[in-house]
Structure formats: C-alpha cells, structure tokens
Structure 1
C-alpha cells in the first residue's frame, strides 16, 4: 500500500484571521490511501469482472489469469511421482518366502531338541538346525534392510517433485485475482484477454470511507497543533455555504518547507509552512483532490 497525494494545484497555506482576514486556518486537498493491485503470475487474463467506480470487498475474486500450463505442469509432476512410487518394493511379499523358510527351520530345530532329549538324535544335528535358523534369520534381516533402503530412496526421489507441486499450487492460487482491501476502484489498467507479467498493475483501489486532508499551517499555528486534536473541516456546498465535517489531526510534519508553488503570490511563497494530515470520515461527498479548509478548535465558528 502507499499514499498517493493529489495536491491538484489547490494545496495552500492559509493564515490566521488576524493576519490575512481569511475565515479559516489552513487549506488543502483531500487524498486517500490507495492500493495498486498487480498480477502475481504471468499469462493472459481470461476474466476480469470490475469497472472503475465499482465497490469491492476484501477477498472478492475479480478475475483470473490463464492457468492451463500450470495445470498441465501439475499433472506431469503427479505422473512422475506415481511412476517413481510404483517401483517401491512390497516388503511383505518380497520376504514372505524367507519368512516361511525361517518358520520351517524353527520347527525342525524344536523337533531335534526333543529328539536329542530322548537320545534319538545327535547334538551335532541339533547344532546344525540352530545354525540353519540363524542363517535364515540373518538373510531375512538383510533382505528387509535392503528393501527398506530401496523404499526410502524412492520416497526421497519424490521429495523435490512434491516441492515443485507446492510451488505450482501456489502459482495456481496466485492466478486468481483477489481484491485485498475494501474500497472503490479508481483506475483499471488492463482488460480481459490482455497479457500480463508478474508485477504489472491491474487496477488501483482506495477505501474512501475515510479520507485525509493534507493541509499546511504557518509557524505561528504550528505550536498549537496536537496529534489527536479535533478540528472542523469545511468544503464548498454552494457559492455561499459550506458543509462541515469533524476531523482529527493524525500527523504533523516536524520539518518546515516552503509553501507549495500552487500559491500564486510572491509573498506567500516566501513563507515556511508545516504539513499536516487530518483524517475525516466520508459520507460519500468527499472526493480525492477536492479542496477543503480547516478551522482549528480555538477558532471554530
């Protein structure tokens, strides 16, 4: 977001009634906090449902950029992942025969143990059976380890592909043009079916429920200003009358500057002034660039 300033040649310093006879203490032009919404991905805008002057809400989807290439890339990545994972061994199936062989060897060992106890078999036969069980068990453990390493390796191969899919999903999400702030569309820079690149402005929007009057005061009034002070802001209603709004000073410059060159007389241009920002609740009548004048609290009438 950034504040774009619309001075419009009207922003001016005014002086106290005692010094100039003017019926106000400061004057200037209204501005607003504006947001330029830009494209977050490149492509052709397939849909853009907004017009200048349209009110938009936060999170409202106003269009999207063509996503066909991103969609195809995502499907390709999914196919690559599936192809790699299809090579994963079925560990239970691969070791089933060895497990069966081990079970048989254990039964033979138990049988020979009983025969030795009954003096129907020799201790060597039992030792051979025990050795056979140990050999098969080690073969089984080695096979399980090898198959586990293979499965882990294949899963690791898919990790970069999953990250690429997340990146593609993020790009797909950013292809939707989602309005970030509540406000009024001030300018529209592109139309549907136009090509955009990342960062290209699409439209400009501002929340005009409150506006800011940037006014300038002279040094004799500067010391009487306070952040949060209530002031009266007037705008022309007709040739004789003004409409009055309540305003609050939200910023006061700590540096003096020469009066903006919009001031026409040489004497007025010579004065040093201080910029202020006055926030005003807008009932819909205040527009960016409109002239306004300020009455400080000590001088309201």
Structure 2
C-alpha cells in the first residue's frame, strides 16, 4: 500500500527539487513585505479619509482628518483660565509711588534739618547758641534719618510681597500651559499622516465612521523591495552568509522562470521544525533554519508569490 504525501503550496521545502529543465533549487519560500498598520491616534468622527486599496501614497502625506472640535474647545477653556490668572496679578506701582512721594518729603525735611544743624553748630562756636539747641537739632536729624530708612524698607517689602504673590498666581499657569501644549499635540494628531511611502494593502475604516485611539485605519507596505522567506537544512548553513548574493526564480509561464538577484539579510540562529504545511510526520521532524532574502521588485512580484532559491547559480 502506497502512502500519499500531501504538501501544501506554502513554504515548500525543495532542497533537491528540479523543474522540467532539470534546474535544481536549494530552497523555496513565499514573498512577503513589512506591513505598517496605520491607526487613529485620537478618538472621534472621521471627517475625511482619502485612502483606497491599491493606492500608492508618499510618505508624510495627510490622507484624512478626525474631528477635533472638542479639543479646540478644551484649548480655549484652558487659555481663558490662563488669561484670568494674569488679571489676578497685583500692580505694585500705585502703592510704591505713594511711598516714594512720602520718601521725597522726608528727604526734603532731612535736608533742611542738616542745614539748621550746620547753622546752630556755627552759632555755638560764636556763643550765639546753646548746646541744648544743637542737641535738639541733632535729635531731629536722627529721627528724620530713621523715618527715611523705614520708608525705604516699606518700599522694598511692598515690592517683594507683590512679586511673591504674583509668582504664586502665575505658577498655577505653568501646568495650564502644559495642558495647552498637550491639547495642541492632540489636535495635530487629528490629521491622519501616512508614515511610509508605499501601497495600501487593506483599508479598515471609512469616512464618517467613529474611531477610537489605537483603532486600525489601513495597512500599507513598501512593495519596491520584497522579502523571500525560505528554509534551509542544517547542512546548508555553511553555504549561506549574510549579504550573500543569491539567484531567485519565480514562475514566468509554463516551464519558465524569471530570474532575479537577491541579498541574504537574515539567517535564523534557532532551528525549528519544518513548517506544518508539509503534512508528513517524517518531514515535520526535520529541523530547518529560516532565512530572509531581499529582492528588488520591478512590479512583477506579489505578496504570497512563490520563489525558488539557488545559492550556486552555476548548478
């Protein structure tokens, strides 16, 4: 009784397989790409969404907009609160101005007293004044000087007090300013910006729908370069090196292949069982290593297309 071996089309391991032209291949695999899922960064209604499957979109292009009216209102409210804080600031100028006028009067009085002091001291030398009169004028000068010192101190205290009060009031504005910056960042994120140049693979949302933060909107990939994921046996590891140039073959009609160059960009450092798509128990028991080969795409390659690999193009 013959055992029927079922092998699916995905990840066929053709280490010794040949085509009708007796060409031997070292490995087989399927082409894939690094796909980027673009998600919404804020919740809201999708106002516009100019994305269609198959579209080629350049990097950083704005492809849609999410309603951010509520964010604009929040921003206006916070800015109004900041403005209200400014209006609460005390103006020190009127109070300081009054004290400065008082200081000017005191300085004028001191000037007159000093003049009188000089006059009485001269009279005393001429025995035209008494010592008591000189002592009295000296006491008046001392009082005037102390009054001036007190007024100057009051001016300084007033300025410091008002400055401290104003700093306390405005310190509450710093967290509010950060709120404004955060809201501005969210408003900017209401624009749906395409992150990479590529082709839209799948579209998940439509204009007019409600979305939430983190919800996928569409999937995009750069198809100008594709990756062939293939598997090799442990005995083949010595034949493969990073940055090695290999030949990749894809079907191009009956018994024909399109030949392309590829670069080995990754070799797994861990062995795994042959993919389950190979249905026999014996085949699944074999340990293999995954490799990735970058291939420039001239438009012929498609996601999921099968490719064959030859490490030695002369074989």
Pair in the same fold by TM > 0.5: yes
The offset of 1:17, in angstroms, is: 5.9
Cα distance change of structure 1 residues 98 and 42 upon mapping to structure 2, 3 Å threshold: same
Question: Is 1:116 matched up with 2:117?
Answer: yes
After TM superposition, the structure 1 = structure 2 runs for residues 59-70 of structure 1, keeping only pairs within 5 Å, are 59-70=60-71
- Larger Rg over CA atoms: 2
Equivalent position to 1:238, from 243, 247, 253: 253
Q: Confirm whether residue 254 of structure 1 aligns to residue 255 of structure 2.
A: no
Structure 2 SS opposite 1:240: coil
SS in 2 for 1:37: strand
Counterpart in the other structure of 1:184: 199
CA distance in 1, matches of 2:119, 2:223: 102
Q: Could you say which residue in structure 2 is the equivalent of 1:276?
A: 291
Q: Is 1:150 aligned with 2:165?
A: yes
Aligned equivalents of 1:114, 1:45: Cα separation in 2:
85
> Quick one: distance in 1 between partners of 2:270 and 2:142?
99
Deviations along 1:219-267, one digit per CA (max 9) or x if unpaired, are 3322211111110111112113211111011111222222223235665
Question: In structure 1, the residue corresponding to 2:262 is in which secondary structure?
Answer: strand
Count of matched residue pairs: 291
Q: Distance in 2 between matches of 1:246 and 1:186?
A: 25
- Superposed displacement of residue 86, structure 1: 0.4
> Which among 162, 187, 201 is matched to residue 177 of structure 2?
162
Distance 1:147 1:266 in 2: 86
RMSD: 2.0
Q: Identify unmatched segments of 5+ residues in structure 1.
A: 1-7
CA distance in 2, matches of 1:89, 1:198: 43
Pair 1:212 & 2:227 matched = yes
Give the whole-Å Cα distance in 2 for the aligned partners of 1:148 and 1:270.
Answer: 80
Structure 2 portions without partners, runs of 5+: 1-7, 122-133
Report the counterpart of residue 50 of structure 1 in structure 2: 51
Counterpart among 141, 158, 180 of residue 126 in structure 1:
141
Corresponding residue to 2:239 among 218, 224, 242: 224
TM-score of the two chains, using structure 1 as the length reference: 0.90
> What SS class does the counterpart of residue 279 from structure 1 fall into?
strand
Provide the rounded CA distance (Å) in 1 between the counterparts of 2:295 and 2:314.
16
> Are 1:13 and 1:218, in contact at CA under 8 Å, matched by a contact in 2?
no
Partner of 1:37: 38
Work out whether residues 259 and 271 of structure 1, in 8 Å CA contact, stay in contact via their aligned partners in 2. yes
Deviation at 1:103, TM superposition (A): 2.1
The C-alpha deviation readout for 1:120-173, integer Å capped at 9, x for no partner, is 981122122112211211211121111111111111121221121111111112
C-alpha contact 1:14 1:216 (8 A) present in aligned 2: no
